[in-house]
Homo-oligomer: A and B are copies of this chain.
Amino acid sequence: MSKEFFSRTENYSEWYNQIVEKADLAEHSAVRGCMVIKPYGFAIWEKMQAALDKMFKDTGHVNAYFPLLIPKSFFSKEASHVEGFAKECAVVTHYRLRTSDDGKGIVVDESAKLEEELIIRPTSETIIWNTYKGWIESYRDLPLLINQWANVVRWEMRTRLFLRTAEFLWQEGHTAHATAEEAIAETEKMLDVYADFAENWMAVPVLKGVKTANERFAGAIETYCIEALMQDGKALQAGTSHFLGQNFAKAFDVKFTNKEGKLDHVWATSWGVSTRLMGALVMAHSDDQGLVLPPKLAPFQVVIVPIYKGNDQLQTVSEAALRIKKELEAKGISVKYDDRDTQRPGWKFAEYEFKGVPVRIAIGERDVQNGTVEVARRDTKEKESLQQTNIGEKIAHLLEQIQDNLYKRAVDRRNEQTNHASSYEEFKKILDEKSGFVYAHWDGSAETEQKIKEETKATIRCIPLNNKKENGTCIVSGKPSSQKVVFARAY
């Protein structure tokens, strides 16, 4: 497997593609730009969903479901939203096919043309705010704290598995509030939930910040984001949380009677993360031997491989292995016991290493006699022989160590790849030689931002929250600046 496999330094992009495909996470489908998420990859996504869903519910949100199809005219109602979303999208124009005249195939039935075209949702603000209009009359109906798990379609010309696909899976929260303060607090709260999930589940450190006007969500007053750094020094936007002000309430005429008995437009937020997180997860931890998964998101955390010759040995070894499996499961650890006789242990070792299983336990007849097992951890590739006594506790502890180690490793890597530039020359040199996050003074203008983007391909990833105030001058225009912002080339 590793023979035909590109290392990160050889070809980072191919390295990524190969891990996604060969570790059975996802593959391209017959439909341009759409992916198939394979069972092993989907099991990781299910773990992400379960953790996030619990976090949403613990913060008072409920789930609902809104239509896949949105009338075209809805997109024109919010002026900036239409620019951002109504362009590259899948358009449903007809609702029937018929047998072709030659009888050999099927063709679109031209008599079944829709009066108004329907758009497959690229995001659901419009259809949801159109619905909220019927749900909100008074401050007593607020806040509405609703989330939706859904598929969306954005017609992308250049696609990459998980990172950028025409169809992807995501969740989109859409909340409605009586005051701007409450909506802003919600926007920030959900950003914290995302950062918590990225760091404590995915083991990926993130910068929290706000986007510049240029990079804002179409229709937002303020876009908050979490930004992660991949091993190649490119940034990846891992989640966004938008304060939408009263824009959508005005576009869809959603008013409420406040406590003072006066009519006012409702305040809104929206926030989302998607299967893009799968790409971030792969790129954050994996190595030249394949996928590396944090224990909290691994479909199974431990694989046990029996080493044996003949059925007698298998029986002895299996008894011990199944006892250990039970002990681990009693500690809440998920375990796969792979006693297939169609593959050799060495093949299995390589397979599970490539698939990123955090801990591998091998057990042979000598181990049974000695009361030991061989334990290998995926992150450091260290192996050790452990006594079977209290094996559940030992492995539970090891899994915690691995989770922590992956996070620390990612933090160290990010720190190494974070630099400060005091001139445009230095800025460009860092980008070309070291890549990563670059802190630099910026004059706050869209023109400078655009010039830097055109000349270096670096964008402002965010203005960090609680950013240090320090006077300086813009690296491009020389104009005064009160704080540095974070630049990077990005996915």
Contact = CB atoms under 8 A, between A and B. Distances in A.
A321 to B, nearest CB: 20
A36 interface: yes
Contacts of A66: 29, 36
A27 B167 CA distance: 26
A451 B92 CA distance: 38
Interface in A7-42: 27, 29-31, 34-39, 42
**Max count, chain B CB within 10 A of own CB: residue among A67, A105, A117:** A67
A97 B72 contact: yes
B95 A92 contact: no
A214 interface: no
A93 B95 contact: no
Contact of A120 (B120, B131, B140, B342): B120
Interface stretch (A80-88, A265-273, A289-297): A80-88
Interface in A129-174: 130-131, 134, 140, 146, 150-151, 153, 155, 167, 169
Given A87-B97, A91-B94, A167 B105 contact: no
Contacts of A146: 39
A131 B39 contact: no
B67 A38 contact: no
Interface stretch (A57-65, A199-207, A480-488): A57-65
**Max count, chain B CB within 10 A of own CB: residue among A39, A119, A150, A151:** A39
Contact of A72 (B76, B106, B153): B106
Interface in A379-398: none
Interface string A291-329: 000000000000000000000000000000000000000
B118 A69 contact: no
Contacts of A91: 92-97, 108
Interface residues of A, number: 63
Contacts of A95: 88-91, 155
B140 A342 contact: yes
Nearest to A145: B39
Nearest to A128: B36
A71 B97 CA distance: 13
A64 B89 contact: no
A52 interface: no
A162 to B, nearest CB: 12
Contact of A118 (B31, B63, B71, B96): B31
B62 A42 contact: yes
Contacts of A75: 97, 106
A36 B105 contact: no
A73 interface: yes
A338 interface: no
A153 B68 contact: yes
Given A36-B131, A69-B90, A82-B106, 5 more contacts: A27-B131, A30-B67, A67-B167, A91-B97, A93-B94
